[in-house]
Amino acid sequence: MPAPRNRPVQAAAKSVLAQLVDHIIPGSTEASIAKFAADRLAHAGYPQTWYYDCPAFVLLGSRSLLSVSGRDYQPSEEKVGLYNLITVDLSPRSGDIWGDCARSFYVEDGVCRTMPVGEEFTGGYAVQQRLHVHMLQFVRPETTFNDLYEWANEAVLDIGCENLDFLGNVGHSICERREQRLYIESGNHRQLGEVSCFTFEPHVRLHGGQWGYKHENIYYFDEDGAPCEL
């Protein structure tokens, strides 16, 4: 099947996330990071969001463990400080075309990175990378949302982590309206190949850990039925 038309708006989300590495400093807060990201999306031509009124969903510190809807989200004024983990989830749209992308940022000795260098964060970072690589090896167009839900939750446990999503979900289809989303959840026996693209976004913590790690991409199937990152 052809690549989805979401590529430009998703590329804008990825570009803004890349810019955040140099923007996040010890004095940054959830509110200031969210404002910067929303402003940069607007500057790139994407002032609208499909996710309620929340173009940039930012959580840091102990709040990185939260599983909360964007409908209820209020950014905190707590400062990043010298050592912290920040998750940023962007949801721009252009008309009925969506982007959806999340990354974890690691602040160590006041320096923000997308790949940690210290032991505290490297385990969680590696888990997210492994889950996405293994997911691409598992899914095919005939894989159901329920199949991926069961596989992902078992994989999270096997790796030694906990799924922080309050329903255990690990993603959803990309649609034109919010209420159309199909979730990667138990009991959803629709096939992934029935939708143009879907997100994979496990939100996890290491057992006994204090940080919530998140990494989200949009995926689709190419003409040969192979899964590809958008």
Calpha distance 8→52 (Å, rounded): 21
Identify the band that residue 68 occupies on the pLDDT scale cut at 50, 70 and 90: confident
Nearest to 42 by CA among 83, 13, 20, 22: 13
Question: Which tens digits make up the pLDDT trace of 170-198?
Answer: 999 999 888 889 999 999 999 999 999 99
Q: Are 13 and 230 in contact (CB under 8 A)?
A: no
pLDDT value, residue 121: 97
- Name the average pLDDT for the chain: 95
Task: Give the SS3 label for residue 211.
Answer: coil
Nearest to 90 by CA among 16, 172, 8: 16
Q: What is the mean pLDDT of residues 94-121?
A: 97
In CATH terms, 7-229 corresponds, of 3.50.50.60, 3.40.720.10, 3.90.230.10, 3.40.50.920, to 3.90.230.10
Q: Which two tokens stand for residue 51?
A: 């996710």
Q: Are 37 and 56 in contact (CB under 8 A)?
A: yes
Identify the band that residue 2 occupies on the pLDDT scale cut at 50, 70 and 90: low
Q: What is the mean pLDDT of residues 54-68?
A: 95
